[in-house]
Amino acid sequence: MGTGTQLMEKVLFKIAKQWIAGNTIDDALVSAKNAYQLGRHAIINKLGEYHTSKKQISVAMEEYKKIIDSFRKWKIRGAISVKPTQIGLSISQKECYHNFEKIIQKACNAHVFVWLDMESAEHTDETIEIYSTFFSKYERLGIALQANLKRTEDDLNDLLQMGAKIRLVKGAYREKASTSFKSKEDVDKNYLKLMKMLFKKGNEFAIATHDEKMIRKAENLSKKYPKKFEFQMLKGIREELKPKLIKKKLVVSDYIPYGINWLPYSFRRIKERKRNILLLGSSLIQSQRV
C-alpha cells in the first residue's frame, strides 16, 4: 500500500468515525446506549457485504445473535439491520433463507425488530422475496426501499398491500440510468412521492434521510395523516436536529454501523452527501500542511 493510499485511508477514517461506532460489538452497544440515553432508538448494523466464505457468514450470524442477546443486558431498546449478501445471498438464495431464519428465530424470542437492508438493484427481487417469506412469520420485520430506483413505486404498492414495514432511503449504490433516477432533483421528487404514499397507505414506516427539506415535509404530512413512523439518521449526523424532533414528540432512531469493513460503506456515504466531500477536502488540505 503506497503512502498516498495510506494517507487517504487515514483521512477517510477520521471522517468515517463520525458515523461508525468502532470495530467491535461493544463499541456499537456503547453508541446504542448513548443514543438511548438521549431519547433515541438504536439500529445496529455490522459492516461487511458480499460474503462468499462460510466462515465470514458464520461470524456475521454469531455477531447479530450476540447483539440481540445484549440489548436486554445493556437495557437498550434496539433493532438490528442485516444485509442479505453478508448472510449468504452471494452464495445462493437458499443459503440466505437458511441463515436469516436463524436470526429471525433469535429476534422473535427476544422481541427485537429486524431491518432487512436493500443493496444494489441486482438483488432487489431476491431481497423482497426473502422479506415477504419471513414477514408472514414474524411481523417485527422491516425492509429498506430506495427512491433512486424507478421500480420502487410498484414495489412499495405491492409491499403496502401486505402491510409491510418500510424504511424509505434515497439510495447510495451506483445504478444503471435505465433503471434509476440520476439527478438529485429526480431522486428527491420520487422520494417525496413515495413518502406521501407511506403516509396515506402505510401503517408503520421509517423516513431515513438527513435532508432537512424532506424531514420538514414528513412533519407536515404527519399532521395530516397521523401514523406510526420514525426518522432514521446515521449516528453522528444531524446531531443538532435530532433533539428538536424528539422535543416535538417525534421518534428518532440512530443507525449505528460498526466493524472493520468501513471503507466501501464510507465511500457510499461520502458520495451521498456533498457536505462530507467538502469535509474530506478540507481534511486533506490540512493533512498536507502538517
Catalytic positions: 117, 167
Taking a C-beta distance cutoff of 8 angstroms, is the pair 86, 57 a contact?
yes
Taking a C-beta distance cutoff of 8 angstroms, is the pair 148, 177 a contact?
no
The DSSP letter of residue 137 is: T
Q: What is the full DSSP assignment across 9-72? A: HHHHHHHHTTT---SSHHHHHHHHHHHHHTT-EEEEEE------SHHHHHHHHHHHHHHHHHHH
Taking a C-beta distance cutoff of 8 angstroms, is the pair 41, 253 a contact?
yes
The C-alpha atoms of residue 124 and residue 155 are separated, in whole angstroms, by 9
Contacts of residue 243, defined as CB under 8 A and 6 or more positions apart, other chains included, come to 38, 39
Q: How many CB atoms lie within 10 A of CB 135?
A: 20
Nine cell digits for residue 25: 460489538
Taking a C-beta distance cutoff of 8 angstroms, is the pair 44, 26 a contact?
no
Nine cell digits for residue 104: 429471525
How far is the CA of 129 from the CAs of 157, 181, 234, in angstroms?
15, 24, 27
